[in-house]
Every structure is written in C-alpha cells, then in structure tokens.
Amino acid sequence: MGVPIISNVVNGIKGGVKATLKGTADTGSVLANSVKDIAVTTLRGTGELVVKGLQVPASIVAGAFQGVADVGVSVVKSVRGIVNGTIQGAMDSGVSQKDAVQGSVRKAIESAKDLGEDVAEVAVEAVKGAVNGVKQVGGDSVAAAKDAIIAALEAAKEIGGETVETVKTALNSSVDGAKDVLNEIKK
C-alpha cells in the first residue's frame, strides 16, 4: 500500500473533520457520525487496495486528530467519537474488527503523545470509543474490549517510561472488564 494513498486518507479525513466542526457547538455528538461518513467516503475513493491492515484505521484517526486540533476542539473530549466513528467507517468499508480496533486505539494514543495530551485519559476514551463503535456495527464487543486494551498497552509500551503503569491504572479504574483483561494478559 503506497504512502500517497495513506496520505490522501489522512488529508481527506482531516479536511472533512475540520469542515464538519467549524461552527459546531456540540462537537461530541457530531464527531462519531461525521468521522464514520468521511471514512467511508474517503475509503471508497481509494479502492480495494486500502482496506487491509492497521494502517487504514490509524490513518483515519490521524487525520481526525489533526482536524480536531486545527479547529481548536479538545482532543481528549473528541477521542471517543473519533475512535467510534473510525471503527464504524473502517468496518463498513471492509476492514476487519481486530484491525479497526487495534489501529484506531494505537494511533489515538500515539497522536495524544505527539500533541502533548494526557495519554492515560486518551487511552480510556479510545477503549470506550472502540467498544461503542464495534457495538454500533453489531460486532463482538467483548473481543473489541480485549483488543482495545491490548492495543492501548502496546502503544503505551512504545512511549515508554511510566506510561504503561499510568495507562494500566487508568484503564483498570475506568473501563468495565479491564481488570479481567489485564489479569489475563499477566498470565
């Protein structure tokens, strides 16, 4: 999959999110549906080549984060809607549930770090958005929760330092079922 195609996905999503959010007071309720719609439209324009792997949902999240940041909307408050809409749009376009969840959650956390946001808070919102997005399209929300938590921890490990423990603590206290998944991972 060529870099120009992925770049087009990022830029298409970014432009669409910026256009949607300008002048919108209640960004939270608008974001999931607009990211989903923009993702589906953008992915249809790129063809079959793009619908495989983690890069697609990651590109959608990256573009949405850039659009939100450019408009001046709170990134942390937007994460759940971005991840939710990304997963719905990606899965509607043929991306597997696991790839949609993992790519979206990992990129949300990487983007949060790059933008200087609270990574633990973003991890919680990303996991919640992933589960909700999968529910919306009739997927397996239990598997989504597990995949999202694992992706959040992998992204936290890549960041390093205290991030893994901070993310674990945040997920444990804020996400239903996280404690069981974290205990299962330890084994």
State mean pLDDT over 167-183.
91
Separation of alpha carbons 117 and 26, rounded Å: 21
Contacts of 35 (CB under 8 A, 6+ apart): 13, 17, 60, 64, 81, 82, 84, 85, 86, 89
Structure tokens at 47: 């063809």
Structure tokens at 9: 């996905």
State mean pLDDT over 9-24.
59
Structure tokens at 131: 């589960």
pLDDT digits (tens, 9 = 90+) for 20-70: 655 555 555 567 777 787 777 766 665 554 555 657 788 888 888 888 888
Separation of alpha carbons 7 and 18, rounded Å: 16
Host domain of residue 136: 3-186
Total domains in the chain come to 1
pLDDT of residue 52: 59
Q: Which residue has the higher pLDDT, 181 or 39?
A: 181
Q: Which residue has the higher pLDDT, 99 or 46?
A: 99
Nearest to 147 by CA among 52, 83, 64, 61: 83
User: What average pLDDT does the chain have?
Assistant: 82
pLDDT of residue 47: 57
Separation of alpha carbons 86 and 77, rounded Å: 15
Structure tokens at 67: 């659009």
Structure tokens at 177: 């079922």
State mean pLDDT over 79-100.
90
Q: Which residue has the higher pLDDT, 112 or 27?
A: 112
Contacts of 168 (CB under 8 A, 6+ apart): 153, 156, 182
pLDDT of residue 2: 44
Q: Is the pTM of this model over 0.75?
A: yes
Nearest to 91 by CA among 139, 128, 24: 139
Is the pLDDT score of 86 beyond 70? Answer: yes
pLDDT digits (tens, 9 = 90+) for 132-169: 999 999 999 999 999 999 999 999 999 999 999 999 99
| Under 8 Å between Cβ of 108 and 122 | yes
Structure tokens at 60: 């959608």
